[in-house]
Amino acid sequence: MKFWQALSFTETDQLVSLARTCEDAGFHGVFLSDHVFVPGHLESRYPYSADGSPPFTPATEHPEPFAAICAMAQVAKRLLFSTSVYLPCLRHPLHVAKSVATASVLSGGRVALGVGVGWVREEFEVLGEDFATRGARLEEGIEVMRKVWGGGLVEHHGRYYDFPPLAMEPRPPGPLPVWIGGRSPRAMRRAARYDGWLSSGDSPESASAVLAKLRSLREEVGLAAAPYEAIVAVAGEPDLDVYRRLEERGATGFVSYPPAYLLGPGCSLDEKRRAIEAWGAKVIARY
């Protein structure tokens, strides 16, 4: 079983130190979140809370994730790194491909790309990207990224992106997994066609239902036997029995929530270290 520590909403200057802590505590990998900015006045509703309020404010730090991963990878030599989730549709896919490939090279191939369509309409509007087409652009953008990651001269002539033969280096040193976040029916169908699914926070019951749905969708598209990651963030206190039941249903990893969730915003570096170490001792060492 793989255990991941979410470092979303963590102060940027603490990430390198906490990467070492996560590795020493036995975590398989760490997650970072992504927003280019947070609107001062937010009308979009966060889809994963009852009142539509997000778990961050305009004062919350969202460092550029792949720059941060490059730094963390230099001190944590075994950890894997991913985003949960990155928003490619806020950028051109060639820009995203370059950032991800560079991080993959500098980490020795320890990067996965966890993506979603995003929910902050204001972010898309300020950056001049169409909110309504973000799902279709995400899928075409992944196609573009995989083309250039394969190396050599490639071209693309799609609905949203078009370019003549070009080459992009560096390329990732090996296959780069693409994992999909989200729980909507459309997100589930999309996740079934890629390399994995990322939970945004589930009860044991909802996680079990999603895992069953993913298994069915993977069978429909002929991918039931292919390797697949299903990484679940279960709300509440960690429960080894719950984790074992979900593993039987197809979960391949579990997430420790960000320290800011458990300790509150502005908690100190030492408080974060102790919380991460305690989770590792309580869960990873006993699983």
Radius of gyration in angstroms for the set of CA atoms belonging to the chain, rounded to a whole number:
18
Residue 112 has, within 13 A of its CA and on its CB side, a CA count of 26
Residues 249-260 pLDDT 10s: 999 999 999 999
Give the pLDDT score at 164. 98
Give the pLDDT score at 141. 98
Top-confidence residue, 115 or 48: 115
The percent of residues in the chain predicted with pLDDT above 90, rounded, is 97
Whether residue 133 is contained in a domain is answered as: yes
Whether residue 6 is contained in a domain is answered as: yes
Distance of CA 102 to the CA centre of its chain: 17
Residues 46-95 pLDDT 10s: 999 989 999 999 999 999 999 999 999 999 999 999 999 999 999 999 99
Residues 206-215 pLDDT 10s: 999 999 999 9
Please state the rounded mean pLDDT for residues 256-267. Answer: 93
**CATH number of the CATH domain containing 11:** 3.20.20.30
Model confidence at 106: pLDDT above 90: yes
Whether residue 60 is contained in a domain is answered as: yes
Structural domains of the chain, count: 1
Whether residue 245 is contained in a domain is answered as: no
Whether residue 109 is contained in a domain is answered as: yes
Give the pLDDT score at 194. 98
Whether residue 231 is contained in a domain is answered as: no
Whether residue 230 is contained in a domain is answered as: no
Give the pLDDT score at 228. 98
Give the pLDDT score at 162. 98
CA angle 190-191-196, nearest 5°? 155
- Is 0.85 surpassed by the pTM of this model? yes
- C-alpha 112/C-alpha 179 separation (Å) is 7
Q: Which two tokens stand for residue 284?
A: 């990873």
Please state the rounded mean pLDDT for residues 170-191. Answer: 96
Whether residue 219 is contained in a domain is answered as: no
Model confidence at 262: pLDDT above 90: no
Instruction: Provide the residue range defining the domain that includes 97.
Output: 2-190+254-286
Give the pLDDT score at 52. 93
Closest CA to 110 of 19, 215, 183: 19
Q: Mean of the per-residue pLDDT values for the chain? A: 97
**ω before 75 within 30° of 0 (cis)?**
no
For residue 170, name the pLDDT band (cuts at 50, 70, 90): very high
